[in-house]
A and B are shown apart, each in its own frame.
Chain A
Amino acid sequence: MLEIKDLHAKIGDKEILKGINLTINEGETHAIMGPNGSGKSTLSAVLVGNPLYEVTAGEALFHGKNLLEMNPEDRAHEGLFLSFQYPVEIPGVSMTNFMRAAINEKRKYEGKEPLNAADFLKLMREKRKIVELDSKLSNRSVNEGFSGGEKKRNEIFQMAMLEPKLAILDETDSGLDVDALRTVAEGVNKLKTPETSCIVITHYERLLEIIKPDVIHVLYKGRIVKTAGPELAKEIEKRGYDWIKAELGE
């Protein structure tokens, strides 16, 4: 599904990704862990086409198509979704209008007619249940005045609406209490199908106890330095990253 080869990227003059290689197949869940500042969020930002970052070398193929040549909206239409670490507040744009625009642009890309108002609202109602999102929030402006937990739930709600093929969850667990974490993580599990894949960026093992990854990668200084099975998360939780750095000779 996703094939990343020798990906380099920088922000300003600072090189952050220094040769990422990663292959994700249909149905797989990969977790990416690593110390702060190692490039995890940069990787997700580059994949979804954030204009702040510049790709200097390498390639990323999504279903065989060159992802890096597409604009952000087409990457989304192709089935790529990012749950933002810091969801953006958009005053004055209601959740309903925002979601309707997103859904209908996707349908347009797929050559489908826009959803009528009744069907759209029905869809909103159904998907809201997945993350137990309060119905009042859909009349409010996007993320404006939402609590930390509500913002993250709202990200997963949008994921449910857009049904991506590959979802990247960038620290979706940060700032969540235990109950909210469970709701959000279980929401992600409900959306999982044998055809969809997921990249989970996290610092904590507890999220990975619910969203069970197939593979865990450790990203350090812009490279993937270790790849192992789910047991790696527990080890990191217990021992931190120093032993991995030691293995690298640092």
Chain B
Amino acid sequence: MHSEKQYIELYEECRGMIKKHSSEVMNTLRDRAFDDFRRMGFPSKKTERYKYTDIDKLFEPNYGLNLKRLDIPVNPYEAFRCDVPNLSTSLYFVVNDAFYTKATPKTHLPEGVIIGSLKTEAEKNPELIAKYYGKLARTEEDAITALNTMLAQDGLLVYVPKNVIVDRAVQVINILRSDVDLMANRRVLIIVEDGAEIKLLFCDHAADDRNFLTTQVIEAYVGNNAGLELYCLEETHAKNVRVSNLFISQESDSRVNHNVITLHNGVTRNRTDLVFNGEGGECSLCGCVIADKNQHVDNNTLIDHKVGHCNSHELYKYVLDDKSTGAFAGRILVRKDAQKTTSYETNQNICVTKEARMYTQPMLEIYADDVKCAHGSTVGQLNDAALFYMRQRGISDKEAKLLLESAFINEVIDRMQLEPLRDRLHHLVEKRFRGELSKCEGCKLCK
């Protein structure tokens, strides 16, 4: 299969239109991204970082693209009932790949903070965006990054200037909305300058019962002594394909907490690359996955300890039911000069059925000689002795399984710092295991 052909042809044909409806800064990288994409093509399953997800097949179907940036009618407040309702957040919407400007949220962001359309902001502040755009997400080394860079016309900018602390969490709801099968290429740029802090919650939802394919590239720059909490929650449906690349760079003494939660999906591939550029950085990458039916979730991470005196923690947990498949590959690279590095990586998985499959590959690559590192992974079943113990106390088989599965996932959720989200997720996880989230709860279809 060579699915890249249709994208190459599309770009050759629509290059002008794509550029016309985007911004100058984003256009600068477009042709080079195209060259890189044409040269590489989609990665095959022989490519190390794509071993567990057949990218070529995912991109084979014919999706529509909204290259002319037609306004898609939607009232997110009506169409969408948010699943994290008690969370007091500043709320924004991104429809497919476009920042939704019609609803002006009643929020009071600190002065200088920008949450807005990447395209618009790139026109207003070309110098700021040009300084960061495409610097972490390098098109020459990843075909998805290249494809996104060549096709993405808009997306989201989050900018927190120096020493500004955004107290209230910012929630961005990505709504997939279309009357035809749709491909969306969303681009996100997060800049947290020195000493600044922000908590971001991205929720992915699909509002229509269509086939959706989303590519997303997020670049996050976290400055000296800055803090970023980034939660990505996916609650879509079985016809949704999400391919997301997240690149994070951390300067000295910065803190990053990233959590990716897949509650409901079709096929999901999340790549997370994090690099420590300055000493004293700390990061925690966590993820939890609940999958059943034929769902597929692949989390692929790389933590690059380029410099010493940084701590990284990784915890990913999966519960796979029915014929679902999961994959986790986590590489930790401790470079020669990265002395006094601490790094712990754990991946634990439960296959509820014999048909469920988990591929796990924790990797430690250490070139320094004074470090503390550990990695490990487990794949197992629910504990029969515990199940029987609970049943002897009168708890039904179904309820006992649910308690055990929830307890397993809760270890990840309990590490989250955003308390209302934690409470809400406990509830959502339980509902998910009860089978009450069989469709995306937020969408109008299921109301």
Contacts and interface: CB of A to CB of B under 8 A. Distances in A.
User: Do A and B come together as binding partners?
Assistant: yes
Interface of A: 48-51, 71-73, 75-77, 81-82, 84, 87-93, 97-98, 101-102, 105-106, 109, 141, 158, 162
B392 A82 contact: yes
Given A73-B396, A73-B397, A105-B396, A92 B407 contact: yes
B404 A93 contact: yes
Interface in B396-445: 396-397, 399, 403-404, 406-408, 410-411
Contacts of A73: 391-392, 394-397
B390 A77 contact: no
A91 B392 CA distance: 18
B interface bracket (residues with beta carbon within 8 Å of A): 20 to 34
A145 to B, nearest CB: 15
Given A90-B390, A92-B411, A101-B395, 11 more contacts: A76-B392, A76-B394, A88-B383, A88-B385, A90-B386, A90-B407, A92-B410, A93-B404, A98-B403, A102-B393, A102-B394
B392 A48 contact: yes
B367 interface: no
A101 B396 CA distance: 9
B68 to A, nearest CB: 51
Contacts of A49: 391-392
Contact of B391 (A72, A93, A97): A72
Nearest to B389: A88
15 contacts: A49-B392, A50-B388, A73-B392, A73-B394, A73-B396, A76-B391, A76-B392, A76-B393, A84-B392, A88-B383, A90-B403, A91-B407, A92-B407, A105-B399, A162-B393
Contact of B386 (A72, A76, A88): A88
B408 A92 contact: yes
A97 B403 contact: yes
Contacts of A106: 394
Nearest to B385: A88
A91 B397 CA distance: 18
A186 B1 CA distance: 74
A81 B391 CA distance: 11
A212 B37 CA distance: 82
B392 to A, nearest CB: 5
Q: Is the interface of B mostly helix, strand, loop or mixed?
A: helix
Contact of A90 (B384, B389, B394, B411): B389
Contacts of B396: 73, 105
A159 B129 CA distance: 65
Nearest to B391: A72
A179 B391 CA distance: 31
B389 A77 contact: no
Contacts of A158: 393
B398 to A, nearest CB: 10
Contacts of B404: 90, 92-93
B399 A101 contact: yes
B408 A102 contact: no
Nearest to B411: A92
Nearest to A82: B392
Contact of A93 (B384, B394, B407): B407
A51 B383 CA distance: 13
Contacts of B389: 84, 87-88, 90
Contacts of B386: 88-90
B411 A105 contact: no
Contacts of B395: 73, 98, 101-102, 105
B51 to A, nearest CB: 31
Contacts of B408: 92
A208 to B, nearest CB: 24
A51 B399 CA distance: 17
A44 to B, nearest CB: 10
Contacts of A97: 403
A98 B385 contact: no
Question: Lowest 6 CB-CB distances: which A-B pairs, in order?
Answer: A92-B407, A76-B394, A72-B391, A88-B389, A102-B393, A93-B407
A87 B388 CA distance: 11
Contacts of B397: 71, 73
A71 B404 CA distance: 19
A82 B397 CA distance: 17
B407 A162 contact: no
Nearest to A80: B392
Contact of B392 (A72, A90, A92): A72
